[in-house]
Structure 1
């Protein structure tokens, strides 16, 4: 809570197996605390199936990180699992400190079995809800958790103080080992099987068999207001979320305050976070919180509804909950209108510093395709690309190669625009447009301002794509359906109070324009947050050059940086 006691400047996190779930008040003691993340395999049962999954400290989802704006955080991660591992602290800017960012082979080599690595970073100029997750292969299916950053001591929320808070993590569950599924899919050249269930705080809810003990319940009191910190940790699904009989007021997205927006449902893409206020103002009872997939093209998805219970105190468990009216799974109009209504708070204390002058304009097209593969089931392997380049992961971390000037690891000639313009969202195309493979990145001058337009295409199919940029927030200055028109569309940009995010959805058959100032030197990953597409190559990176002097340059690497 904003009024909790002071936290020490240095916080060392050792999340114990006995960590308690539910409502948690921030500790007020000033002593240094040391905590540890232990990556291990634990048997977890969902949907009548028990199977070993990779967990942190035996928990699924993993423990919550609590910090305060201005804190230093040290998290020691020890890998006891059979898989190599890295952890990404999603949305934390990691100023000059890409060594703590976490994406495997981009800013670090993974932590090998039996080894440890200490993520050491400062929380500067950020407060709100973020999250952490594995950033290698599909291991974030079960390796993820919330990050709650409270404002500086004595700084209240810019909205009514809630009575209590709760974390709501939306995820996906497979009844089989996801790593095995991914390997099988790669061999066959096909997508892995879709998930068997969605989850809320790791539980699918009572609409699934054998789920009596696998339902999350949030007890509330009549007349009180609650802050729900909602995180989409699903691998491949944009999700709707609603609470039966109750409206929600959005007050924050991706750890940035927004103008309050009251709505019956929200849309949240993989990687995004949304804080909402909910007032328990209905007749005492039991009400379902529910989530299911948004997909507005005929692509197979897991559209089963996961539920949890918003339960008024004193109401017996025998009362049958009511279901909310979620938008239809293909409700494009709701999705576009909801995102259009999100606006930065933009007050003197929390301004929207939108770059008005642009130094570098980038235009990236998103392509799906099928490359020849004689050993695959259909003779082809599905692929994905930006500007016709399908990104190949290196064997040495890009940041390491950049810092130590190791040649031959990557090229800095990623094109600013596609090599051949065409009608991007017109009739379906099946050609790959000579898609190339390579480890190619863009070099960006320090402190320059960048505008990036991400354009969906109808190569194989149009589809919505949530893109995440590491190391930065950005302003979503414009979005539209169809082909971006550089002569007309910029005139419609919102340069006053656009939403500020770290993950943005590119609409199906449309485009999104973002702006940011490249004031964080290092190597920063940018990728689709649909794990399926990331694995196919829908990713790249920016190499932001050092600024003038050591205080604007990448910090030296830590001594325990994992080797490749």
Structure 2
């Protein structure tokens, strides 16, 4: 056992409970109401895809009145991650932090902070979110945006809502704190800022980075950021703000969640120092943060980026419109990768793969767009997509490069893309269409940041690489839940290698059945 989980032994999952045990990790989940799964976002799940969690990809949902033990080992990882429901929109409230502490005797590669604080960012709707997305799917249009953002469950002061305060972070003057910041929001990338203070970023997605100083953090749904914060102002109250980033014409509210950083010993009559969040389309602020991220690449924490590739893939990310006889305007908004809108199967992909059940999926997912075009320029007239359950097959230990290309179908838009089962290296990013001859010359192969979730820039591209050393079926999808619902998802099928240590383990006896 390389590490232990320190996020709290017991955490609640709407209607049931899950317990984390510090051995070969177990998460015991019971379910008293809706169908449910629990995903351990960023845990690599070596050979234990049965414990990954996405509904109908690695398991069928846990039915009401049933239970399931997620049994896996956390191996070679430490840092901040999150867990959340991975079915429909339930992760809006079914989520929490995972904190994996380093092995005994292995210090942080930076000064040890006085205290560590989990900061969980989220979204909140007045209505049942299942009703929100059901209404959108019935109409064929986009769902309503959320009513508030939250910081550790609190939106902060809200007009016309007396008695609603916000989260208070009490700190001691002169001390340094490490904030473990998690974006658990459904559909928004967020800026995070504290009045009068600067952060030293030391980790993203449970991987150390070269420290850098910033006054604004950008964090997408599913991402985590550890940042040191030194209390060098001595006294006072300071506003903490979480606000949306979206540099496209897609509708998003300018709501801001607020909290208060409070120095102990500050007089009760002292006011709060305010901060102005960046505009929602503050692309230069977002780019400055993203471009500052580099792997630590030290002797203890080397950066093992694949220098050569066996699969070079181009995945276009698009929205589209498919005919819908029952929808309000005669069509339904969909999303796709390489013009394929993912169709959810009736049984899990992993189960059908392991037991060789035919007719569930095909392994012919296109590695390139079926019809090349000017992805960020003038778009085709036909906005319809193909619907199918298709995976891309990879040999064990193959080296994979994926260029994720945004398109202007309906609108250019930024997308946080998450890959299950692996971390990947972010080699480069840019605006416009990816040029393989020119852009690949600029790839960072020395110290690229290592992540599990990456933002594809609006009207641009990002290139990632990983080694397919984990057998099973692994989901790749947009972590904006509305896009996942619309079908912006696919799966990699990684074959077994040689021998039992390179092969998928058999399913547990209590694996939920469809």
* TM bucket, shorter chain: over 0.9
Distance 1:10 1:328, change over 3 A: closer
Of 503, 508, 511, 1:553 maps to: 503
* Alpha-carbon shift at residue 157 of structure 1 (Å): 0.4
Distance 1:113 1:178, change over 3 A: same
Match in the other structure for 1:324:
275
Of 432, 455, 461, 1:505 maps to: 455
TM-score by length of 2: 0.97
Match in the other structure for 1:84:
35
Q: Does 2:211 align with 1:249?
A: no
Q: Does 2:27 align with 1:75?
A: yes
Measured in 2, the distance between the counterparts of 1:164 and 1:232 equals 20
Measured in 1, the distance between the counterparts of 2:117 and 2:501 equals 38
Match in the other structure for 1:399:
350
Q: Does 2:436 align with 1:480?
A: no
RMSD: 1.8
* Alpha-carbon shift at residue 39 of structure 1 (Å): 3.6
Distance 1:66 1:207, change over 3 A: farther
1:211-222 correspondence to structure 2 within 5 Å: 212-222=163-173
Measured in 1, the distance between the counterparts of 2:298 and 2:2 equals 27
1:156-175 correspondence to structure 2 within 5 Å: 156-175=107-126
* Alpha-carbon shift at residue 301 of structure 1 (Å): 1.1
The superposition leaves residues 260-304 of structure 1 with CA deviations (integer Å, 9 ceiling, x where unpaired) of 010010110111000000000014011111011001112211320
Measured in 2, the distance between the counterparts of 1:299 and 1:424 equals 18
Is the 8 Å Cα contact of residues 390 and 437 (structure 1) preserved in structure 2?
yes
1:511-530 correspondence to structure 2 within 5 Å: 511-530=461-480
Is the 8 Å Cα contact of residues 158 and 164 (structure 2) preserved in structure 1?
no
* Alpha-carbon shift at residue 191 of structure 1 (Å): 1.4
Measured in 2, the distance between the counterparts of 1:247 and 1:377 equals 48
Measured in 1, the distance between the counterparts of 2:214 and 2:325 equals 50
Match in the other structure for 1:441:
391
What secondary structure, in the 3-state scheme, does the structure 2 residue paired with 1:107 have? Answer: coil
Of 97, 100, 112, 2:63 maps to: 112
Measured in 1, the distance between the counterparts of 2:79 and 2:100 equals 5
1:291-306 correspondence to structure 2 within 5 Å: 291-306=242-257
The superposition leaves residues 48-103 of structure 1 with CA deviations (integer Å, 9 ceiling, x where unpaired) of xxxxxxxx65xxxxx99696xxx52111000012x100000000000000000000
* Alpha-carbon shift at residue 322 of structure 1 (Å): 1.9
What secondary structure, in the 3-state scheme, does the structure 1 residue paired with 2:284 have? Answer: helix
What secondary structure, in the 3-state scheme, does the structure 2 residue paired with 1:534 have? Answer: helix
Match in the other structure for 1:417:
368
Is the 8 Å Cα contact of residues 257 and 345 (structure 1) preserved in structure 2?
yes
Is the 8 Å Cα contact of residues 205 and 216 (structure 1) preserved in structure 2?
yes
Measured in 1, the distance between the counterparts of 2:411 and 2:14 equals 39
Is the 8 Å Cα contact of residues 86 and 102 (structure 1) preserved in structure 2?
yes
Distance 1:80 1:26, change over 3 A: closer
* Alpha-carbon shift at residue 9 of structure 1 (Å): 8.3
TM-score by length of 1: 0.88
1:95-494 correspondence to structure 2 within 5 Å: 95-210=46-161, 212-429=163-380, 431-432=382-383, 434-494=384-444
* Alpha-carbon shift at residue 211 of structure 1 (Å): 6.0
The superposition leaves residues 175-227 of structure 1 with CA deviations (integer Å, 9 ceiling, x where unpaired) of 01000111111111011110000000110012444364541111000000000
What secondary structure, in the 3-state scheme, does the structure 2 residue paired with 1:72 have? Answer: coil
Is the 8 Å Cα contact of residues 60 and 347 (structure 2) preserved in structure 1?
yes
Measured in 2, the distance between the counterparts of 1:405 and 1:436 equals 25
Measured in 2, the distance between the counterparts of 1:255 and 1:490 equals 27
In structure 1, stretches of 5+ residues that fail to align are: 1-7, 14-24, 28-34, 42-55, 58-62
Is the 8 Å Cα contact of residues 429 and 460 (structure 1) preserved in structure 2?
no
Measured in 2, the distance between the counterparts of 1:464 and 1:508 equals 4
Distance 1:421 1:428, change over 3 A: closer
1:526-545 correspondence to structure 2 within 5 Å: 526-545=476-495
* Alpha-carbon shift at residue 318 of structure 1 (Å): 3.9
* Alpha-carbon shift at residue 314 of structure 1 (Å): 1.9
What secondary structure, in the 3-state scheme, does the structure 1 residue paired with 2:350 have? Answer: helix
